[in-house]
Amino acid sequence: MNRCDFSAWELSRRARLHAALDAALPPAETYPARLHGAMRYASEGGKRLRALLVYGAGEALGLAPEQLDAPALAVELIHAFSLVHDDLPAMDNDDLRRGRATVHKAYDEGTAILVGDGLQTLAFEVLAASPQLGAEARSQMLLGLARASGSRGMTGGQQADLAAEGASLSLAELEQLHSHKTGALILACLELPLAAAPAASPDSRLALNRYGRALGLAYQIQDDVLDVTASTGTLGKTAGKDISSVKSTYVRLLGLEAAQARAETLFEEAQTALAGFDERANPLRDLTDRIRARRH
């Protein structure tokens, strides 16, 4: 797939996602209007990488895009909810997200908490109500997303991150933390489509698992690198936040150059994991290169 083909694929899948998002979110004027307006505000912008991973993995398995709209939307809603809550004063206490005021700054703290609650529950509603998925696929996706976003996944990772502020973690401890906080939802993006592809081979399942684990860790190391090398304007969020919060990061533990080298190695491992797939995995391969080259 050349650059032009990938761009067309990406635009098409983004359009599907945004149409599904607009249909799923209550209109801003729906009672209570303040909450629904804020939910829409929180869902705007972003790179949509997690949704694109769902589409890329599912299509590599031979699934049609319409079978992937619900899980793609669900992971984006979970991601948006996590960002709203992460930005709260009791968590990361950030004022800027996606280039504009965080939800608790644009609205208020109570509304932000409820926005996160609303987005989280909507994610599961979207999956449960999808007419494009069979009952077994819906059940498995609901279970997978709940585990990935719950206390044994993303939520547990956020708790570990809070507890680690000011502490000096080992590399193994840091990898465990981020395999939950960041990696669990990224891995879910690769594994949710498998619920709709029961005929997928064990090799394909293992390959997507390996890909997701390598990509999730590479993505987090890349985030740590960008936190010290990119500006607030480029990131769309406060640069240098990890340093000011005295957090253990890969840059702090390994040094900048070694962290960059580790991320590159992991991106290579992710691409290698896809070697057994045919050309239907080309969007996923190209998306990996896009993520690898990101600057925000």
Q: What is the pLDDT of residues 22-60, one digit of tens each?
A: 999 999 999 999 999 999 999 999 999 999 999 999 999
Number of domains in the chain: 1
Domain containing 262: what range? 3-292
The whole-angstrom separation of Cα 169 and Cα 167 is 6
The whole-angstrom separation of Cα 184 and Cα 43 is 20
Residue 280 belongs to what H/E stretch? none
Report pLDDT for 230: 82
Report pLDDT for 244: 61
Is the alpha carbon torsion for 41, 45, 46, 48 positive or negative?
positive
Q: What is the mean pLDDT of the chain?
A: 95
pLDDT in tens, 122-157: 999 999 999 999 999 999 999 999 999 999 999 999
Which regions in the chain score pLDDT beneath 50? none
The whole-angstrom separation of Cα 157 and Cα 217 is 13
What does residue 98 show for φ and ψ, rounded to 5 degrees? 55, 35
Give per-residue burial for 149-168: e unless 16+ CB within 10 Å, then b. Answer: beeebbbbbbebbeebeeee
Measure CA of the first residue to CA of the last residue in the chain; give whole Å. 24
Say what the pTM is. Answer: 0.95
Q: Which amino acid is present at 95?
A: D
For residue 135, the domain's CATH number is: 1.10.600.10
